[in-house]
Each structure stands twice: as C-alpha cells, then as structure tokens.
Amino acid sequence: MSSFTNLTKTATSVYYQQGLASLIKAFYKYLSFKTPLFKIREGIEKKTLQTKYGNSAPHPYTIINVNPDRINMWSPSKRDGLLLEKSGIEFEVQETASVDTWFDAGLIKGGEWDNQQNLYHVNQSPKYNGVVEHFADGVPWEDTDYYDIILWLMDENKHFDGCRTQEEFDKRLGEIDKLYKKIEQEGYKKQSELCKKCNIKKYDEIGVSIGRDGQLIFQGGGWHRFAIASVLGINTIPVRVICRHREWQELRNHLARCDSYEKLHLGAKENLTHPDLRDVVPRSIINEYMGKNN
C-alpha cells in the first residue's frame, strides 16, 4: 500500500472517529514529526527547556533504560478508557489522559495525576493481558478478551487502534507474532538500532511519565512491546520520558545545584541511582556515594 493511500486512510479514520479539530491537529503533527521540520521542532523544544531549567533541563525526548518490572502502573488516555470500560472497569479521566506522547514531549506538570488512586495497574489493560494470554498461556488471539474488545470498538467507532476491519486486525496480530519471535531470537533492540536513517523514529520507544517520587508510569505507545518484554523476562528496555511531575523536576534542579553528597536532601539521596537523574548528578557526588556504599 502506498504512503499516500496510508495517509488518506489515516486522515479519514481520524475525521470520522475524532472530528475536524483532531484532523487538523493530526495534519500539523504529520508536518511537525514526519518531515525534516522535526529537527527544527526538536531544537526549539530543547532551547525552551534549557531556558527555563538551565543545567537540570531534560532533553524533550529523553531515552532511559529500565527494568520493565519497575513499570507497574498506567495513566490511561481517553481512548484507553474505552478499552477499560469494555472490560467492565470504571474509568475516570485524569489530568494526564490528554497528554500527547509527541506534542507534549518533555512536559513538566504538577497536580495529583501521579497519586495511586488516579492510576491503573498495567494488568488491567486488555492489550497487556491479551499479549500475556497469547504468548505465555498459549491462548489463540481470537479466544482472548482483547480480541473481542477490539472488534466491539471497531464496530462502534468504525475504526480503532489503526484498524477498520477484522481482517486488518488479524493482519496486525500476525505482525505482533513476528515481533515476538524476533525479540525472542535477537533480543530487545532500541529503535535507533532498527532504522538506518533515523529522525523521529529513533525516539519511538515505550512512553512513560515520572511521578513526584520517581515512579515510572506507563503513559502510552508500545503496549505490545512492553508486554512481550515482560513475558520474555527481559531485564532492560529503552523507554522515552514524556512527562515529569513538577516536584520530580525540582529534585533534578536540586541535584544539579549541589556539589556535595552531604548537602543533598533525603529524597535526592534515595533516588540518586534513578535512571532519569544520571544526566544531572555531578560526578563528585557519585564518587562520594560510591565511597559510602563500598
């Protein structure tokens, strides 16, 4: 299928499922992220964060390596909420439900969105459970609740999760089967290792947000990859940080200003080895920390 046909198909589905405003936003997103303009956008976003946060400014598309077992909770989008409701789970829209995994890259956001009562466990996701059932338990795709739920949502919305027909969904599941075998045989690789001429594609990793205490929260993008990594028992995967809680960014600010381990407050000491802090912790503090723990 040609790229133009794919683009037309996507535009049509966005218009009918989400309306004209979403179509305009999607078109702008296409221009911003799918063309050479992305380099300009990335530069502007980096400069904006550096101006506001100085030495503690995060890269807008930070990639960190984490153990997937550390990602237990999930902040669903509004579309994910449809999956939860079809599973019989009550869904309440939270502050991060509208966070766009690309438009909001590098977002610093305060509020109560990271409180446990506002989050869902990842095993409440039909996508996650479908992958676990299929690959870990040997259940055929068509016998999983995930399969039925997607078919229901496609019937109600004409289009869901990139598919409009059962045949398209079956084809996608076949691709997930191939992905599982590839990861099982070759290991989990970064997107930058998989594409020869990477632009935005190198940042297309599983999306997470970071709560005020450093908790890694699944934010969106890469459900199948994430669940496959869990099933295969992979110890380290790359993830992209989309949003940070304001209090977590304040901790980054604190670390960037300190020149001695003794001057760090308790929260900073407890999180010193957090993967999102490696770019701001001074070497002198790391050396002090290592000396105290050897």
**Cβ count within 10 A of residue 2:** 7
Nearest Cα to 80, choosing from 72, 68, 92, 69? 92
At residue 54, the pLDDT reads: 95
> Is 285 domain-assigned?
yes
> Is 2 domain-assigned?
no
Alpha carbons 70 and 68: distance in angstroms, whole number? 5
Q: 83 and 127 in contact (C-beta within 8 Å)?
A: yes
Q: Model-level pTM?
A: 0.86
> Is 43 domain-assigned?
no
At residue 25, the pLDDT reads: 61
Range of the domain at 246: 61-292
Residue for token pair 């078919």: 151
**Residues paired with residue 107 on neighbouring β-strands, in sequence order:** 243
> Is 25 domain-assigned?
no
Alpha carbons 277 and 251: distance in angstroms, whole number? 9
C-alpha distances in Å from residue 63, one per residue of 48, 54, 72, 126, 245: 19, 19, 19, 26, 17
> Is 134 domain-assigned?
yes
- What is the count of structural domains for the chain? 1
> Is 42 domain-assigned?
no
Q: 32 and 38 in contact (C-beta within 8 Å)?
A: yes
Tell how strand 216-220 and strand 120-121 pair up: unpaired
Instruction: Quote the crossing angle between the two packed helices 37-53 and 246-257, to the nearest 10°.
Output: 70
Nearest Cα to 62, choosing from 49, 73, 75, 76? 49
Alpha carbons 210 and 221: distance in angstroms, whole number? 15
Residue 204 main-chain phi, psi, to 5 deg = -80, 60
At residue 106, the pLDDT reads: 92
Q: 20 and 35 in contact (C-beta within 8 Å)?
A: no
pLDDT in tens, the chain (294 residues): 445 455 566 656 655 555 666 666 666 666 665 667 778 888 888 999 999 999 999 999 999 999 999 999 999 888 888 888 888 888 877 666 567 788 888 999 998 889 998 899 999 999 999 999 999 999 999 999 999 999 999 888 877 887 889 999 999 999 999 999 999 999 999 988 887 666 778 889 999 999 999 999 999 889 999 999 999 999 999 999 999 999 999 999 999 999 899 999 999 999 999 999 999 998 888 888 787 776
R_g over Cα of the chain: 20
At residue 20, the pLDDT reads: 66
Q: 210 and 244 in contact (C-beta within 8 Å)?
A: yes
At residue 74, the pLDDT reads: 93
> Is 136 domain-assigned?
yes
At residue 58, the pLDDT reads: 96
**Residues paired with residue 240 on neighbouring β-strands, in sequence order:** 63, 207
Structure tokens at 256: 């960037």
At residue 59, the pLDDT reads: 95
> Is 116 domain-assigned?
yes
